[in-house]
Chain A
Amino acid sequence: MRFRLSTEAVDTASLRDGLKHPGSGGFCAFEGWVRDSNEGRDVDGLEYEAYAELAETEGDRIVGEAIERYGVTDALCVHRIGDLGVGDLAVWVGVSAAHRDEAFRACRYIIDEIKHRLPIWKKEHYLTGDTQWVACTHVYRAHEHEHDAGHAHHHHGERHAARPFAPDYSRQQVLREVGEAGQAKLSASRVLVIGAGGLGCPAISYLAGAGIGTLGIVDGDRLEASNLHRQTLYGARDIGEFKAVLAARRVAELNPTVSVQTWTEPLHAGNAVELFRQFDLVLECTDDMRSRYLSSDAAVLSGTPLILASVYQYEGQLQVVTARPGEPCLRCLWPHEPAPEAVGSCVLSGVLGPVPGVFGTMQAMEALKLLLDLPRPREPVLLLFNLLDVTLTRLPIDAASGCAVHGGCVAVASSSMAHALDEREIDLVFDNLEQAVLAGYRLVDVRESEEIAHEPLDGLPSLHIPSSQVMARVGELGDGPILLVCASGRRSGHAARLLRASGLRQAYSLEGGVLSLRVAG
């Protein structure tokens, strides 16, 4: 193999020595380094990820092509993957040849083709703390502009201009309502898509194709085989990877001019409002009721328009929350988040692939209508669309009978968000329980006696109160911070919430329970 991927720093001296041949009169190397800025942003490191099998086969092919094409003696290339800091060597290319000209040109060919063809993705880490996947596909390739490989010095035919990828939006720009001005609006816009699943896939595709300037993608899940019937951005070989990362790569392939920012954890009360403020528009595409309510609250509190859609088997719902004063939100329809078991899910209830496909596409359409300020009915509605009967029902929403009755959307959203934040801080993560004890928490083991006998808490001092008795024995818990512990974190979480509701402000629960300690340890 003349090409390899390396997770460790590259020993360039030994690579160079490997290219020494008696017949070589010249050696040329190229080193790509991590620099401290890109497009005006301060970078403090980056991460390369590769589809290794394909990258190595294709990389080897590229080096072979260069040797053949330019008649050089030998060539090698190594590309780093993993985490790199500023100044680190990211890629090394070396070529030895009888004469310098071929060596230079083969070296250039290899680096250009590597950047153009290899399935390697670069994620930049900025000093501001956020990250972004950067498309590396639109590169200028010098050899495409050579007149003929080898010796072209005497040929002066027509020259091609250098052509990096230039998107062509003519098919949408020809629409009178879009035009150049509309296209400029899209290029300047920032859209956040929460959930890169059945709804998110078509939404992301259409938004990327339309030339949205920046797409944010939030999804904490990894791809599973059961997703593929409806999640059209992905393929069989992607299983096990983060959907947000996969979707970002797909966008880079589809339209390299779109900037993509990814978050590989679900939306939570701690970041929702701040995240919404960074975008012009948000699409809620998750299959999670909690996320939908959180998004509605964050939209209202940040003043960011939100397009909600969700599906059930053969039908779905669509609602545009404009987040303007006096216009309805999700809570205006259904004030409280229903219990998870009452709602159903794609897992339990089933769903036919095209159903979220239709609704995600409708979300993209609504997004473009809002961004381009296209004509649309101004009356707020809940749209119900049954794809079996093919019946579309538009129900006008009367904002006056919604949150307005309870002080308005903003007041309702603030108190819901405060409650969600409070609930969020109940679940604490510890690598081991000694840390918790050192941090001043009193341990309360809420498991049953048999469970404790089977897996005791490593001799640490703890109070034992089974979860069902916690409320009756609240007097034994004291006033200090307590950490409730069970097997998975579910019983302790529930008990801690009950204790909080009864006024015990310092009740916490070990997230993931004893099981998480075993995994971490």
Chain B
Amino acid sequence: MTVVNLQYYAQLREQAGASSEQVRTAATSLQELYEELRARHGFSLGPDTLKVAVNAQFSAWDRPLRDGDTIVFIPPVAGG
């Protein structure tokens, strides 16, 4: 199990009901982690519409998870 810190933006924050949380996960990649969270929070957006960043750097979805990673999922927004 890996312990990671999550930050949510825009619709994801709204749907998760929090702007951050810490989770223990069996997921091994960002892709798996997102699917797990999507099932839990009912996120409407698919990973193909999001960018993901780990420790303040954009990252590929197949990146393995490490303890203590800070992970941010970012959808594009359009309000103005």
| B1-38 to A contact mask, C-beta < 8 Å, 1/0 | 00000000111011000010000000000000000000
Docked-complex contact A288 and B51, CB < 8 angstroms: no
| A372-393 to B contact mask, C-beta < 8 Å, 1/0 | 0000000000101010110001
Closest-by-CB residue of B relative to A342 is B45
Tell me which residues across on chain A come within 8 A of B71, comparing CB atoms.
Answer: none
> A289: CB under 8 A from chain B?
yes
Docked-complex contact B11 and A384, CB < 8 angstroms: no
Interface of A is mostly: mixed
Q: How far is the CA of A195 from the CA of B79 in the complex (A)?
A: 11
> B74: CB under 8 A from chain A?
yes
9-residue interface stretch from A82-90, A263-271, A306-314: A306-314
> A33: CB under 8 A from chain B?
no
Knowing A313-B14, A342-B49, A344-B10 are in contact, say whether A396-B79 is a contact too (CB < 8 A).
Answer: no
Tell me which residues across on chain B come within 8 A of A309, comparing CB atoms.
Answer: 80
What is the count of residue pairs linking A and B with beta-carbon distances less than 8 angstroms? Answer: 108
Tell me which residues across on chain A come within 8 A of B78, comparing CB atoms.
Answer: 286-289, 292, 310, 343-345
User: Which chain B residues (22-80) contact chain A, with CB distance < 8 Å?
Assistant: 44-45, 48-51, 53, 56-58, 60, 72, 74-80
Tally of A interface residues using CB under 8 Å? 44
Smallest CB–CB gap between B1 and chain A, Å? Answer: 27
Docked-complex contact A315 and B9, CB < 8 angstroms: yes
> A59: CB under 8 A from chain B?
no
> A395: CB under 8 A from chain B?
yes
Closest-by-CB residue of A relative to B10 is A312
Q: How far is the CA of A313 from the CA of B19 in the complex (A)?
A: 13
Tell me which residues across on chain B come within 8 A of A162, comparing CB atoms.
Answer: none
Closest-by-CB residue of A relative to B49 is A338
> A197: CB under 8 A from chain B?
yes
Knowing A315-B9, A393-B56 are in contact, say whether A310-B75 is a contact too (CB < 8 A).
Answer: no
Knowing A342-B45, A393-B56 are in contact, say whether A310-B19 is a contact too (CB < 8 A).
Answer: no
21 pairs from A and B in contact (CB 8 Å cutoff): A198-B79, A199-B80, A285-B80, A286-B78, A287-B79, A292-B78, A310-B78, A310-B79, A311-B79, A338-B45, A342-B11, A343-B75, A343-B77, A344-B11, A349-B14, A356-B79, A382-B51, A382-B58, A386-B19, A396-B58, A401-B58
Given contacts A310-B76, A333-B76, 12 further A-B contacts (CB under 8 A): A286-B80, A287-B78, A292-B78, A313-B79, A334-B76, A345-B79, A346-B80, A356-B79, A356-B80, A394-B56, A395-B72, A401-B60
